[in-house]
C-alpha cells in the first residue's frame, strides 16, 4: 500500500485506541474470522480441485492431462491481478474491494459448478481467480492496519492456521465429494460461504482508502498480463501434437517482445506495477529467480501424485485425497524447525542443501509403483511435505532479508506474483512432460510416464540450488536500492 496512507480515511484507526480495555484481537474478532475464512477458502480451492481432476475430466469428456488449463488459468489470473490490489484499495477502499472480490469469487465458483465443457470451466476459473486475487493481499493489509503490534503475531498465526487447515482438508474433502456426491459440489460450496462472507464484510471490515491515490500503471499492467498469458498459451499449444511449431514460436516471440517492452516502460514510470530496480539487491534477485525455478520443478507434483494414485494405481478419489494429507502435515511440522535451522545455517547453506534434498525426494517418487505399500507412500509424501514447507518458508522470507523496509510492500507484491506465475507454468510443464512421455492408455503407461516425469522435474529443481549458491556475496549490512 502507498506510503501516503497517513491521509487515508480509516474508520478503525480511532477504535484501536478507544480505551475500552480490550485487546485489538478481542475487539476485531469478527474481522479476524472474515480474513481467516478468506484464507481458508483460497487455500481450500487451490488444493481441492486436484483430487477431483480424473472425475471432472470424465464428466466433461476430456483426458485427465487435458485438465491442466482449468488449474493453470486460475493460478495465472492470481499472478496477473495481485499487483493491482494495492492500487484498488487506495482508490476504492478496502471494504468495497474485499466485498467485490468475495462476490466475484462466489459467482465464478457457481459458474464452475454448472460448467458443461472444459472451455466453460476455464473461463469460470479465470473469473474465480479475478476475485481470489484480492482476498489474501487485502486481508493481510487490513490486519496490518487494524491489529496492534502486540497482538499481530498471534492474529497472523491464527489466520495462517486456517490457511494450512484449508490445504489439509482440500484434497480429503475433494476426494470425499467426488466419491460420495458430485464433483460440482466442490465449487458450489463456495457460494453459501461467499454469502456469509459478504455479510461479515459489511459489518466487520474497516474502510481504508486514500483521498488521492497514485495513478495506476495501466500500460505496464497490460504489458505484463499479455506477456504472461501468451507464454501460458504457448505452453498449452506445446502439448498439441498437431500444432505448428512456427505458430507456437511466434507466441513466445511476442511474449518476449512484450516483456521487454514492460522492462523499458517500468524504468520510465514513477509507480510501476513491479519495480524491477529492486532486482539490483542480490537477495531479491536470488529470491525471485530461485523461487521461480524451484516452483517450476515442484508445482505440478500435487496433480501428478493424484493422477499416479488414481489412474496408475487404481485408488479411489477419497484414498488419493487422504494420501495428500501427510504432505500438508509435514509442512506444518517443518515450521517448528525453520527458525532454529535458519539461524544455524543461514540462507545460502540452508536453501542450497534443502533444494538438493527436495530434488532427491522428487527422484525417489520414481521408485513407487502400484504395489508399493501405502504406509511407505505416506511416509515419502510426509517427508517431502516437510522439506517443501521448509523451502517455501525460507524462500518467502529471503526477499526481505537485505531490503529496506520502505520497499517491503512492493517486494511482497512481486514475490506473490512470481509465486503464482511459476506455479501456473510448473503445472503446465509437469502435465506436458507427462503427456509427452505417456505411450499408451493403460495404468502401466501412466506409471512409467510418471516415473520419468518426476526424474526430469528433480533435475530442474536441482538446478535451482545453483541460483541459491549465488547468495554467497551478499553483504551483511542492509542493502538499499
CATH code, domain with 48: 1.20.1250.20
Residue 240 carries which DSSP code? -
By the 10 Å C-beta count (0-12 exposed, 13-18 middle, 19+ buried), 270 is classed as exposed
For residue 13, is it within any domain?
no
In the predicted model, residues of the chain with pLDDT beneath 50 are 1-19, 473-481
- Is 6 part of a structural domain of the chain? no
Same domain, 193 and 342: no
Range(s) of the domain holding residue 194: 21-215
Q: What is the pLDDT of residues 247-285, one digit of tens each?
A: 777 878 888 898 889 889 888 887 787 778 777 778 788
264 and 290 co-located in one domain: no
d(CA 166, CA 49): 12
Burial per residue of 178-199, b for 16 or more beta-carbon CB atoms within 10 angstroms, e otherwise: bbeeebbbbbbbbeebbeebbe
Q: Are 47 and 167 in contact (CB under 8 A)?
A: yes
What would the grid cell of residue 416 be? 506473490
Q: What does the alpha-carbon distance between residue 287 and residue 292 come to, in Å, rounded to a whole number? A: 8
For residues 438 and 442, give the distance between their C-alpha atoms in angstroms, rounded to a whole number: 10
Backbone angles phi, psi at 116, to 5 degrees: -110, -15
Query: 406 in a domain, yes or no?
Result: yes
* Amino acid 408: pLDDT: 65
Residue 60 maps to a domain: yes
My answer on whether 327 and 417 are in the same domain is yes
Domain assignment present for 14: no
Helices (H), 64-216: 68-81, 85-92, 94-113, 118-146, 149-180, 185-188, 190-204
Distance CA 431, CA 50 (A): 13
What pLDDT is recorded for position 481?
Answer: 39
**224 and 211 co-located in one domain:** no
Q: Are residues 79 and 192 in the same domain?
A: yes
pLDDT value of position 135? 83
Domain count, the chain: 3
* Final residue before a domain boundary, out of 215, 235, 251: 215
Residue 261 lies in a domain: yes
Phi, psi dihedral angles at 244 (to 5 degrees):
-80, 125
With the CA atoms of 420, 424, 426 and 430 taken in that order, what torsion angle do they form, in degrees rounded to the nearest 10? 150
Q: What is the pLDDT of residue 124?
A: 93
Asked if residue 12 is part of any domain, the answer here is no
- Whether the Cβ atoms of residue 377 and residue 368 lie closer than 8 Å to each other: yes
Query: What is the model's pLDDT at position 208?
Result: 78
- Asked if 163 and 86 sit in the same domain, the reply is yes
Co-location of 77 and 184 in the same domain: yes
Same domain for 257 and 333, yes or no, is no
Shared domain check, 261 and 198? no
Cα pseudo-dihedral 457, 231, 248, 250, rounded to 10: -140
| Residue 128: closest CA among 99, 103, 98, 156 | 103
Which residues 6+ apart lie within 8 Å of 468 measured at CB? Answer: 286, 290, 347, 348, 351, 352, 355
- Can you give the pLDDT at residue 176? 84
What pLDDT, on a 0 to 100 scale, did the predictor assign at position 452?
93
Alpha-carbon distance 320 to 90, whole Å? 44
Q: Is residue 84 one of the residues assigned to a domain?
A: yes
Q: Are residues 381 and 252 in the same domain?
A: no
User: Do 252 and 306 reside in the same domain of the chain?
Assistant: no
**DSSP states of 170-202 as a string?**
HHHHHHHHHHHS-TTHHHHTHHHHHHHHHHHHH
Burial class (CB in 10 A: 0-12, 13-18, 19+), 463: middle
- How far apart (Å, rounded) are the C-alpha atoms in residues 28 and 35? 11
Residue 148 and residue 186 share a domain = yes
CB 19 within 8 Å of CB 146: no
Q: Which residue among 233, 250, 270 closes a domain?
A: 270
Using CA atoms, how far apart are residues 426 and 247, in angstroms rounded to an integer?
A: 22
- Look at residues 177, 192, 215 and tell me which one is the last residue of a structural domain: 215
The span from the CA of 80 to the CA of 72, in Å, is 12
CA distances from 290 to 34, 55, 82, 440 (A): 33, 35, 20, 35
Grid cell 506473490 is found at 416
Contact in structure between 129 and 111 (CB atoms under 8 Å): no
Nearest 5°: phi and psi at 53? Answer: -55, -50
Cα 311–315–321 angle (5° rounding)? 100
Amino acid at each position: 500500500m502507498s506510503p501516503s496512507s497517513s491521509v487515508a480515511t480509516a474508520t478503525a484507526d480511532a477504535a484501536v485506541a478507544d480505551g475500552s480495555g480490550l485487546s485489538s484481537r478481542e475487539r476485531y474478532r469478527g474481522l479476524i474470522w472474515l480474513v481467516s475464512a478468506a484464507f481458508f477458502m483460497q487455500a481450500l480451492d487451490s488444493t481441492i480441485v486436484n483430487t477431483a481432476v480424473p472425475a471432472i475430466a470424465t464428466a466433461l469428456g476430456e483426458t485427465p492431462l487435458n485438465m491442466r488449463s482449468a488449474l493453470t488459468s486460475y493460478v495465472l489470473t492470481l499472478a496477473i491481478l495481485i499487483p493491482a490490489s494495492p492500487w484498488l484499495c487506495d482508490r476504492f477502499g478496502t471494504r468495497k474491494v474485499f466485498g467485490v472480490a468475495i462476490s466475484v469469487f462466489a459467482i465464478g465458483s457457481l459458474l464452475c459448478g454448472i460448467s458443461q465443457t472444459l472451455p466453460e470451466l476455464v473461463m469460470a476459473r479465470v473469473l474465480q481467480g479475478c476475485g481470489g486475487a484480492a482476498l489474501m493481499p487485502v486481508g493481510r493489509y487490513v490486519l496490518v492496519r487494524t491489529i496492534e503490534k502486540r497482538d499481530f503475531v498471534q492474529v497472523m498465526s491464527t489466520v495462517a492456521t486456517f490457511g494450512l487447515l484449508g490445504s489439509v482438508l482440500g484434497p480429503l474433502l475433494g476426494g470425499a465429494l467426488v466419491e460420495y456426491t458430485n464433483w460440482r459440489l466442490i465449487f458450489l460450496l463456495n457460494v453459501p460461504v461467499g454469502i456469509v462472507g459478504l455479510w461479515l464484510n459489511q459489518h466487520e471490515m474497516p474502510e481504508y482508502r486514500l483521498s488521492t491515490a497514485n495513478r495506476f500503471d495501466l500500460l505496464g499492467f497490460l504489458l505484463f498480463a499479455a506477456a504472461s498469458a501468451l507464454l501460458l498459451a504457448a505452453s498449452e499449444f506445446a502439448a498439441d501434437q498437431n500444432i505448428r511449431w512456427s505458430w507456437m514460436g511466434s507466441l513466445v516471440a511476442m511474449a518476449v517482445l512484450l516483456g521487454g517492452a514492460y522492462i523499458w516502460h517500468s524504468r520510465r514510470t514513477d509507480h510501476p506495477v513491479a519495480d524491477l530496480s529492486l532486482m539490483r539487491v542480490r537477495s531479491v534477485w536470488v529470491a525471485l529467480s530461485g523461487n521461480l525455478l524451484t516452483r517450476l520443478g515442484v508445482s505440478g507434483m500435487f496433480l501428478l501424485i493424484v493422477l499416479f494414485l488414481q489412474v496408475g494405481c487404481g485408488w479411489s478419489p477419497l484414498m488419493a485425497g487422504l494420501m495428500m494429507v501427510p504432505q500438508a502435515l509435514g509442512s506444518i511440522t517443518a515450521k517448528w524447525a525453520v527458525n532454529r535451522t535458519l539461524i544455524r545455517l543461514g540462507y545460502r547453506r540452508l536453501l542450497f542443501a534443502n533444494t538438493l534434498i527436495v530434488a532427491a525426494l522428487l527422484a525417489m517418487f520414481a521408485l513407487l509403483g502400484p504395489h508399493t505399500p501405502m504406509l511407505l507412500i505416506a511416509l515419502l509424501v510426509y517427508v517431502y511435505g516437510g522439506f517443501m514447507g521448509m523451502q517455501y518458508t525460507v524462500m518467502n522470507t529471503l526477499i526481505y532479508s537485505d531490503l529496506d523496509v520502505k520497499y517491503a510492500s512492493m517486494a511482497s507484491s512481486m514475490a506473490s506474483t512470481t509465486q503464482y506465475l511459476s506455479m501456473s507454468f510448473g503445472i503446465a510443464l509437469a502435465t506436458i512432460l507427462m503427456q509427452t512421455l505417456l505411450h499408451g492408455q493403460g495404468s502401466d503407461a501412466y506409471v512409467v510416464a510418471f516415473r520419468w516425469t518426476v526424474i526430469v522435474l528433480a533435475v530442474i529443481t536441482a538446478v535451482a540450488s545453483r541460483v541459491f549458491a549465488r547468495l554467497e556475496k551478499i553483504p551483511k549490512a542492509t542493502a538499499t536500492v
